[in-house]
């Protein structure tokens, strides 16, 4: 069995076809919210309840959505090569998990968990409102969304360091590379695949293979390329 490592890094474009919107789709505004209000440390300090309400609404929204074909194919691929494939995502939804994917690493946290601000415990909330939720470990009501905001550390970025040291192939799906420098990954790792809807020559130039189409239309080809690499 091959010991090669393939890192798959996904972003909003993977979940877009499941109807999960992002701030980018809405010009930085989401209903009555601005990105600074609900996705930054300053905004959280200014109006804590508004931010918690926002994430309650996002959980209720994600509950109504379903994994798409791309989530399902990636889950199958991970199941077939559990030791070789590392699944990183910038998405905070649970679509990959609901498609049956195990060991998904969420670089920016998870909507379906809360985090205790007293003891740091991360615990599941599912799709419920966090109202009256308390920490199962220390009993504190001082709990918050488990989503990384602008201005905060992202502990899961540790896995990006592992990517740079051990990945022999990297697949980037549905991200513009503005938060995590996916362009640099392609510069470093020769065997690289990009799947995005739109061309961005500056970001895309180092990728060996580029697939400009929706994730559900690109995913079969992506899985073939990964399997080919693992079997070679
Ligand atoms: Zn606690």
- Domain locations in the chain as residue ranges: 6-20+66-108+154-231, 21-64+111-147
Cα–Cα distance, 160 to 23 (Å, whole number) = 24
CB contact set of 48 (below 8 Å; sequence gap of 6+)? none
Ligand 1 centroid to Cα of residue 140, in Å, is 5
pLDDT at 24 over 70: no
Q: How far apart are CA 71 and CA 56, in angstroms?
A: 24
CB within 8 Å of 136: residues ≥ 6 apart: 121, 123
Average pLDDT, the chain: 94
CB-hemisphere CA count at 13 Å for 123?
A: 17
pLDDT of 28 > 70? The answer is no
Q: Is the pTM of this model over 0.85?
A: yes
What amino acid positions are annotated as catalytic residues?
A: 108
**Section 58-86 average pLDDT:** 97
Mean predicted confidence (pLDDT) in 57-76? 96
Assess if CATH 3.30.1600.10 describes domain 21-64+111-147.
yes
Distance 134 CA to ligand 1 centre (A): 8
Q: Give 99-153 pLDDT, tens digit per residue.
A: 999 999 999 999 999 999 999 999 999 999 999 999 999 999 999 999 999 999 9
Q: What is the pLDDT of residue 23?
A: 66
Of residues 35 and 103, more confidently modeled: 103
Task: Give per-residue burial for 34-54: e unless 16+ CB within 10 Å, then b.
Answer: ebebbbbeebbeeeeeebbbb
Ligand 1 center to 159 CA (angstroms): 25
User: Thinking of the domain 6-20+66-108+154-231, which architecture would CATH place it in?
Assistant: 3-Layer(aba) Sandwich (3.40)
Distance of CA 104 to CAs 89, 117, 221, Å? 7, 24, 21
Measuring CA to CA, how many Å separate 121 from each of 55, 138, 199, 211, 223? 18, 8, 41, 40, 36
């Amino acid at each position: 069995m091959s010991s090669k490592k393939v890192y798959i890094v996904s972003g909003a474009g993977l979940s877009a076809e499941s109807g999960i919107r992002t701030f980018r789709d809405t010009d930085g505004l989401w209903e009555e919210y601005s990105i600074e209000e609900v996705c930054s440390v300053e905004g959280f300090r200014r109006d804590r309840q508004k931010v918690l309400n926002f994430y309650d609404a996002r959980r209720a929204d994600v509950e109504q959505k379903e994994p798409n074909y791309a989530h399902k194919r990636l889950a199958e691929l991970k199941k077939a090569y559990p030791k070789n494939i590392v699944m990183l995502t910038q998405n905070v939804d649970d679509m990959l998990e609901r498609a049956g994917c195990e060991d998904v690493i969420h670089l920016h946290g998870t909507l379906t968990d809360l985090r205790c601000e007293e003891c740091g415990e991360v615990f599941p909330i599912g799709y419920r409102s966090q109202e009256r939720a308390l920490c199962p470990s220390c009993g504190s009501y001082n709990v918050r969304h488990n989503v990384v905001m602008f201005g905060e550390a992202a502990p899961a970025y540790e896995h990006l360091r592992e990517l740079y040291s051990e990945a022999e192939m990297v697949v980037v799906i549905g991200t513009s590379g503005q938060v995590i420098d996916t362009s640099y990954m392609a510069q470093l790792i020769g065997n690289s695949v990009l799947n995005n809807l739109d061309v961005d020559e500056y970001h895309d130039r180092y990728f060996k293979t580029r697939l400009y189409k929706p994730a559900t239309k690109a995913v079969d080809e992506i899985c073939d390329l990964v399997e080919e690499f693992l079997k070679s």
